[in-house]
Structure 1
Amino acid sequence: MKVVNSRNGGSFLVWTLTVQLVLCGSGVYATNSTKNCKLAYESPSERKVLNRLEPLAHKNFTVVSNTADGNYTYVFQLCGDAAGIPGAGAVQVEDKKPTSKTVIGSYNSTRAIGGSDWVMLIYEKGDAYDAHCSKEMRKAIFMISCNRKIDVGQLEVVLEDRDRLHECFYLFELDSSAVCPALSTQLSTGSIILIIGICLMAVYLIGGFLYQRLIVGAKGMDQFPNYAFWVEFGNLSADGCDFVCRSRNREEAPAYRGVSSEPLDEEQEERDDHLLPM
């Protein structure tokens, strides 16, 4: 850190440290909390899927399940200590024995499987069953599905499948927009040109209107920028369209009947000399 030498150097240093603390507290410096999860089989593909769940970090999810065997409360935390138990990713608490907490999955043994709009998070190596599933370690599966309408939904219990000899599990569901695929917003070249043209036209009209009104002092239709030009341009465009697209005959019929060009036969002069008295 470079120290600035000034009379108020001490105050400046204090303010710098204060700003850094505020930025850290507000989350400007991003941290990857999913790194706390240890994958059962480390691989770049599973680590990439796990990183998609980063928005769900530092959040506790709680759900109550009412069953024939009793009421249970489940606590889930992404890559963090659920119910304050170190290493526990998911914990089961029986209402009759609130002090007795059973770890049903550990984030130190995590698996992550993802699709286009879903992620399956698996916590393994929980506490062993007492009399079920050949006394294997418990396992919790969280099915996180895409829902663009909400950031994080409510955790729901689907079932506890323990009536088998091996591979028993707890199944949960959770909706979140964190696992939704990114929306494609790519615009075509024509759309970009159209948007640019509309923006330029808007700037021309608004800027020209303000100039004509405030600077020139025009009133009425004269406030429209280059009003005389656009009126003449419109008339010329109409004449050109009429000339190119016309379909009727432009030659008008004469308003009067023309005289024939052929010479008329001269009528024979009738002589009435024979009528005169001799």
Structure 2
Amino acid sequence: MKLCRVPRQGCVLLWALLTQLVLCRSGVFAGDGTKACKLSTETQSERDVLNRLEPLAHKNFTKEIKDKEESYIYVFQLCGDAGGVPGAGVIQRSTKALEKPTVIGLFNSTQAIGGSDWVMLMYRNGDVYDTHCNKEARKAIIMISCSENKDAGELEVILEDRDRQNDCFYLFELDSSAVCPPVQSRLSAGSIILIIGFCLVAVYLIGGFLYQRLIVGAKGMEQFPNYAFWVEVGNLTADGCDFVCRSRNREEAPAYRGVTTDALEEEPEERDDHLLPM
């Protein structure tokens, strides 16, 4: 007996569609992203904060903590089933395989608060305490801070505050670049002036070179626009720099000591008049 009586291509397509439906239902395909999280109070501001965490959606973050003789594994997932537990955002699992995982918070009861470079996520309505905190439901607080060098850092378990009558919570930390403020590139007025200046100089040089070469027919260094003017400016600049910056005396010192420059000057021609023949 054949399981599929349609043509082979149709049977393959049918199986592909059924597999995709199963995967989507199990959360493998995370197309919904942060939309899978249900906010306790649906407001646009909280939804915008939650949307900032879209790169972290449906990723499992685990951390193992050893407490004396016992050790626990914490699993956090944003808007997805943490550790495969339906509806759980954060779970606590003992390393003992037979024990049932403890649900710390559900992602269908989410609260999101954000600042410029941080987001605080709260999952409520976890499993109730047995003896602590008036047997209230557990709550997880995940503090996600900006770290430009990490797409998603390591989950850190800070504390479990259960030594109070109510409002007990588990506190976690996570670093991620997803909550970092966008980098805005702004040019200063000086940068804009420099860019405009460089553009004008480039236009002057290229346009002048083409004009000198194609219209005037200049060759060699004469292709440089206003070559004679710039040569003269360069010479004058060099002379000015030489005059201002050099400290040596411009008169050459005499070769012998005791001989002044006045003695080396020519005497008036009248001194030899008496030697001339009459």
> What is the TM-score with the length of structure 1 in the denominator?
0.64
The C-alpha deviation readout for 1:38-61, integer Å capped at 9, x for no partner, is 001111111111111112113211
Q: CA deviation at 1:97?
A: 3.2
- In structure 1, the residue matched to 2:250 is none
Q: Is the 8 A contact 1:32 1:54 kept in 2?
A: no
Which residue number corresponds to residue 152 of structure 1? 152
Contact 1:41 1:111 in 2 (8 A): yes
- Which residue is equivalent to 1:138? 138
1:35 is paired with a residue of what secondary structure? helix
Q: Which residue is equivalent to 2:123?
A: 123
Compared with structure 1, are the counterparts of its residues 185 and 31 closer, same or farther at alpha carbon in structure 2 (3 Å cutoff)? farther
Unaligned runs of 5+ in 2: 1-29, 241-278
Q: Which has the larger radius of gyration?
A: 1
Matches within 5 A, 1:142-181: 142-181=142-181
Aligned to 1:62: 62
Describe how 1:202-241 pairs up with structure 2 within 5 A. Answer: 202=202, 205=205, 218-219=219-220, 221-222=221-222, 224=224, 226-232=226-232, 234=233
Residue 31 (structure 1) shift: 5.9
Please give the alpha-carbon distance, in whole angstroms, between the structure 2 residues aligned to 1:127 and 1:33: 25
Q: Output the amino acid matched with 1:136.
A: E
SS at 2:100's partner residue? strand
- 1:54-92, CA deviations, whole angstroms, 9 ceiling, x for partnerless residues? 121132111111113621111111111111122111111
CA-atom RMSD, angstroms? 3.2
Whether the 8 Å contact between 1:33 and 1:57 is mirrored in structure 2 is yes
> For the structure 1 residues 154 and 203, does the alpha-carbon distance in structure 2 shift closer, same or farther, using more than 3 Å as the test?
farther
Cα distance change on mapping 1:80 and 1:226 into 2, 3 Å: farther
Q: Are 1:159 and 1:171, in contact at CA under 8 Å, matched by a contact in 2?
A: yes
- 1:88 matched to which residue of 2? 88
Structure 2 length as normaliser, TM-score?
A: 0.64
The amino acid that maps onto 2:176 is: S
- Are 1:107 and 2:107 counterparts? yes
Report Cα offsets for 1:4-48 as digits up to 9, x if no partner.
xxxxxxxxxxxxxxxxxxxxxxxxxx9661111100111111111
1:167 aligns to what SS in structure 2? coil
Tell me by how many angstroms 1:200 deviates. 4.4
Q: Which amino acid aligns with 1:122?
A: M
Unaligned runs of at least 5 residues, structure 1: 1-29, 242-278
Tell me: CA distance 1:231–1:123, structure 2 relative to 1, closer, same or farther (3 Å).
same
Q: 1:124 to 1:222 in 2, by over 3 A?
A: same
Partners of 1:62 and 1:223 in 2: CA distance: 70
Matches within 5 A, 1:228-267: 228-232=228-232, 234=233
Which has the larger displacement, 188-197 or 105-114? 188-197
